[in-house]
Structures are given as C-alpha cells and as structure tokens.
Amino acid sequence: MTPLSTHRRKSVGGGFDHIQLNPKLRATAVLSASALVLGAFFALGLPRAADAATIGAGSYTTTLPAGGSLPTGCGDISTNPRASLTANAPKGPVPTNDWWSSILWKKTNCGFGEPLHAHPAAYRASSGGLGISYTTTPLITGTATGVGEYKFPYTEDIRVGVSGMNAGAVMVDGWSDWTVTPSWTDGLKTLKATIGHGLPMSYYQLSGGNAQITAAGTATVWSNSGSRIGFSVRGHDYVAYAPSGGT
C-alpha cells in the first residue's frame, strides 16, 4: 500500500499553503476520477439500444431529442434537404457546413443564398448569373471600447452569365472536397459554374445564348486576342478565355 505522503509549501507571494500529494497517489486519484466521469457518461449519455443503430463499437439515433427542433429555412428545407439540388446532384447525404452552404440550406435569401467567400475570390449568385468579388481593402467598423469588426465585404467587380437569362433561383448541381457547381436555368437558357475554395479561377458551361460578362464599374481592356480578353475593374485584373474559335 502506498503511504500518504504530503508536505507543505509556502505559495509564492501569498499567504496560502498548498498540500501536494505523492506523485503515485496523485496519478491514482486522477485516474479514479476519470473512471467515474466516464462511467457517468456511459450510464446517462447513450440512448437505449432500441433507439439506436450500431456501427462497429459506436451507435447513432435518428430520433429527435425531446425538446429539439428541425432546422428552419426556405420552403420545405426542414424535411427536404435536397430542395436546392438538381436531379444531376450526387445521391445520398448532403454537406451541411461548408463555405457554399448558403446556396443549399437557404434561409434568408430563398432564391440565391448569401455571398460565398471562397478566398481569394468571393461569389454571389443572382438571377443573371454569378458575381465575382476580389476585395483587397478591409472594412473596419465599431468603436475602440465596443464591438468591432475587421472584414473584407463582398463588393462585386463583374458578373458572368448568359445574355437575357433571368433565373428564379440557383441550384447545386454537384460538389467535391474543394469545389461546388451552382446551376441556373430560366427554362430557355442555362448556366453552370464550377468554383473552388482557394482557386483563382472559375469555369462556366452555358447554353441558349451568348456568354456575357458585365462589369460593375469601368472596365479597362489591356489585352484582346481572339478568344481571350484581359481587363481591369477597380484595379483588379481578370482574364476570360472562350472555347477555341470563340470571340
């Protein structure tokens, strides 16, 4: 049996004494406390076997906890998480917490979601296509003694779309670990854009009309060579490439 060994030590700069346990006994005490806590978790935290499905040594339940509620948002999103997916989207569960989640789990803007901050670019869907922002000037708000914010807000430079397109909503056509493909259609014209987190480029497929790039400010063209055009908007440089033979 390990004897209880203690000694007293004066605290630095204070009038309190500390009692230190023998290291072996202290380790035993910590282990015992941990075992008690774990025991409480196993006794109280797990659902009954009848309520849970097992996977290996783990389990999960699809029963809503007492007092819980489903997510709320636009339309029937609470019971239909695929409401903003196209028929071409991957089957099975859908992502719930990604940089592009607002165009899938729509809550405040039921047609087009919120700005998508992919870094270095940010994007925003609208009825006419996909807006692109590359904000390099931070916005600082608040006061020195109150709540303050340091952010790079979405400020649109250009919008890529199809001439004359007026879609009612943006849908999600597919995704990967880093990318997402939003999709638009108004019944006559269609647009798909593939954008990615950390990617300095975006890729577009369209039908029913001509590709159209609309600048939010004055555009200065510095290169125009057949299927390629380079231009600047608000000091930010962009290059657009059309398929071979395009103008």
Domain residues of the chain, as ranges? 19-69, 101-216
More confident residue, 109 or 4: 109
Count of CB atoms situated within 10 Å of the CB of 178: 13
- 246 pLDDT band (50/70/90 cuts)? confident
Residue reference for tokens 């992502």: 95
Residue 78 per-residue DSSP state: T
Residues 46 and 81: their CA atoms lie apart, in Å, by: 27
State how far the alpha carbon of 125 is from the alpha carbons of 10, 117, 162, 168, 231, in Å.
66, 12, 13, 11, 22
For 142-159, how does the pLDDT look when each residue is reduced to its tens digit (9 = 90+)?
988 999 999 999 999 999
Chain mean pLDDT for the chain? 83
Q: What share of the chain is helix, strand, coil (3-state, %, to 5)?
A: 10, 35, 50
Residues 218 and 70: their CA atoms lie apart, in Å, by: 46
Instruction: Tell me the one-letter amino acid at 214.
Output: T
Report percent pLDDT > 70 for the chain.
79
pLDDT given at position 43 = 36
Q: What is the mean pLDDT of residues 89-116?
A: 96
pLDDT given at position 37 = 38
CA R_g for the chain:
28
For 29-72, how does the pLDDT look when each residue is reduced to its tens digit (9 = 90+)?
333 333 333 333 333 444 444 478 889 999 888 888 888 888 89
Q: What is the mean pLDDT of residues 83-111?
A: 96
Burial of 67 (0-12, 13-18, 19+ CB in 10 A): exposed
Range in 11-25, 45-59, 139-153, 169-183 the model is least confident about: 11-25
Q: Is the pLDDT of residue 27 over 90?
A: no
Report percent pLDDT > 90 for the chain.
68
The top-scoring range by mean pLDDT among 11-15, 32-36, 142-146, 238-242 is 238-242
pLDDT given at position 65 = 84
